[in-house]
Structure 1
């Protein structure tokens, strides 16, 4: 953190008056916030309230890292955006919204995916990282990069009516891998696209995340280090589970085996290079003179709503027994609802020698979002 003093202007004194009245913050604490840097990975359901409260609190520099664009299905929970933002990069739309809220802070819009090529550099450039990602591969990579860079990770996640929050990778504290050593198999856990999420729940967990970030920056209170806070919105119950650093942890343990971001990436469940194609790439290839075979691995009740023209439909649970139906000499793009089951199918295809197969990144939901708004999906 930059230690150079940033005196409060008269306008800032008025804006942050309620903070200045708190003994735990005061003028010194507010000046500390103004010279702090926070990276938010993801500007979605969790990122929306998180970013709004960090900007309102006067965190001096906020990095917003997200390569996605705003879709109408986001508006049910991503309160940072409105209909005028549809189709715009989330990071850019977030920067404009936050500037309206507080023009005194700097917002860095990073329209890029958090990945092995940029993870360590991005994390190292900030004082605290707030993980609002929506998939396990990124979640593990954020954790590992934070451990390697020595940056605390204010984590939160949501699913249906439940959520959890914690501070990982703080000095001497547990990291995400201490609790969950390995990511689940791709597609084993339904995404929010597939399983749904109560729209207000990310607001609750994102506000908790923002609270933890501010406590870390201020050195105030007791952050959720070595504690996992779980929330059940249906019963409106909160539970705190004590955790501790695992000496055998692969990334933060006494003898770590994941010592570089490249080593960590292979253990994060990230697809190998060339294993995915974007919705735009698939659309261009389908319009070309040599289109790939589209393999749809969704269940029949899903494909009954509609499929991409010419698709071969084999439900994922049947693929191992029917893999011979997929021509080994063809380029194949596997599709599903959100891009998770297709990664499991991809592993099956590649294990059978079909090395020219790839998975549609983000699934048919991403196809509808970026290519064909009228594509029929059951959700």
Structure 2
């Protein structure tokens, strides 16, 4: 009896999803727990795996919007061991010319180098399971996938891995062959456009950002932080920290801990407006904005006030792994009271972060850059970071916002103060 493949529930508030991509073709043999397809909702992206071994039958193609619980295919639990074995490489390889010598006039000219590389990449791609979108990109760029490191489940190569490889591409990657007319003359390439529907996540991001701009009195205050002491402590203890806690010590844990203490001193930035009431939270659920291939997501570190540096770093690493493997759940994104966004990882020097409603504050971190600063009437070179705190002026006064950001600056410039709570 066939096993139905259904769209799983990802939360009570989600009623439908987009079947974004099938990782398998109709009629393919699948194994239990092997990824079948990926769905997108307005909040999360999630991979769905096979419940059993068998032969896949697809009834709903990629790109369709389907209801939660809808059947999109089935798995026939046939004897997968009975499927014919793949052809061996030796069977696909042409016989050497010595076995069937050609006359000189019949000999073919050698293929161009670019074509040879394309054939190699196609052969390599056939041996490695790839999603259709990844396979297309590999074919377009004539890439050898055996040289690309996969970060997906089981080391599977995703689109992000290919794009990262292209960014750091070796000089030997060939360009696509130039299009020529029948007479051998180059043909000018025509500029084209492509129209694609917005994904549910992108629609939701656009909706929430517009809502934030229209329904809050957002204002931003700026400051700069001397990162010398934080960098010194990180460098001094990073090996011992990694050895003891099995996680790297990053700057995000410094900022999360600094935000926790600053929010406790200025509680209105950790509060929400609900109608004519203000809801104050006696806990700090810190959202950490993470950019993904499909859009920005903000997983929440719950009760950050109870965590030490290692617990914060482990929570961030766990969320990053979930995002890469499309395992992020709706519950991971709910309940945040304040957000930290690090635009510095993309090279941003200064920006104005937008509030993540219904929150009243968001901290924007930026890249560390050496700059001349005046200390004790002397000009010295220090690693500096601009920081920005956007806040809802309906609930937060300028004094509270400036005080909060100033306290974050003091804690980062002297991390020992966080341990002493002074």
Range into which the TM-score falls when normalised by the shorter chain: under 0.3
Q: State the TM-score, normalized to the length of structure 2.
A: 0.23
For the pair shown, the structure with the greater C-alpha radius of gyration is 2
More strand by share: 2
Q: Comparing both chains, which one has the higher relative contact order based on Cα–Cα distances under 8 Å and sequence gaps of 6 or more?
A: 2
Q: State the TM-score, normalized to the length of structure 1.
A: 0.25
